[in-house]
Structure 1
Amino acid sequence: MDPAPATDLPPAPAPASARPRTLVPWRLLALFYDLWPVLALWMVAAVPFVLLDIALHDGDTRHNIAPYSVLGWLLWLACWGVTGLYATASWRRGGQTLGMRPWRLRLQAADGTPPTRRRLWLRYAVGSLSLLAGGLGFWWAWLDRDRLAWHDRASATRLVRLPKA
């Protein structure tokens, strides 16, 4: 048999590894789902502040907490903290919040292990800043070479989409 003829064509490149998915639509859907249990937690967290406001205003139940007052800022801080406890406890317990479950999203450290509490709180804080910036940190995942959002990169964590069971 004659050997195959030589060609001047370079060898075909090996297929490049596919870039990870951005998961932005699933992240946003999970955030929307998580809004509902968080809203209930905010209502519970607000009860002591409302009772304190009523006590400070001689039992006037028609009075609202004044915007930008110390009590108002403390209420917002309490709601932010309660939301952080919900998120970090859920991520620590099973890698998922209630909103992440229907979309099969799971949080893990970059090396595939469960993240530490410090990483989870860092992720929550940077994610909060990202939302305050109009979600810019989430949209950044479209441009990032590894498809990571700001809070993923800052906390060395990753969201992965689990296969269908």
Structure 2
Amino acid sequence: MKKVTTIIPTAILLFLSCSKTEIDTQAKLMSDSKLATTNSTEMAVQNKTSGISNTIPAYYDSSLFKIIFVEFSAQAEASQIAHNKSLNFIYQSDPGLPNNQPFISVIDAIPGDGFNPVWREVQIVFNAGFTPRQLFSDNEVLAAASGTHPEITLNMTNEVYWCPVIGQKPVTGTK
């Protein structure tokens, strides 16, 4: 039982700590299961609340969630892309929406539905003749990118983020 009681606090502390440097170090440590529990806990305790201010909203199947949003280093991103076969996708549109409104990110998984807190960014570009609009699910994103005259183009980036889902917000005025 000692392993279980050590792992749960470690997971909680890892969830609460998320500076970019710590994420990179923790990802490296997690590859060595013998060191992960001890070293990650010590690192997490040193700075257990960093990153919480990096929360952003994200849609999943028309429901609005909050996620922590921290980018990996360039080296860690390349490693994740090369070796992590279970990356999720986060869809973003940096130019935003009309009237200087932000495009709220769309995620393709949540805990209990194929979730891995490591996300590869996919940029949404609205094609000529289409007014940018908010999309609310990965299925809607993929539908808008298909067909003879797709509404959007999807551009895979080399940006990878650590984005655990931390809560659901009430949804008002959406689809």
TM range (shorter): under 0.3
- Greater helix share, 1 or 2? 1
Q: Which has the larger radius of gyration?
A: 1
Please give the TM-score of this superposition, normalised by the length of structure 1.
Answer: 0.22
Please give the TM-score of this superposition, normalised by the length of structure 2.
Answer: 0.21
- Greater strand share, 1 or 2? 2
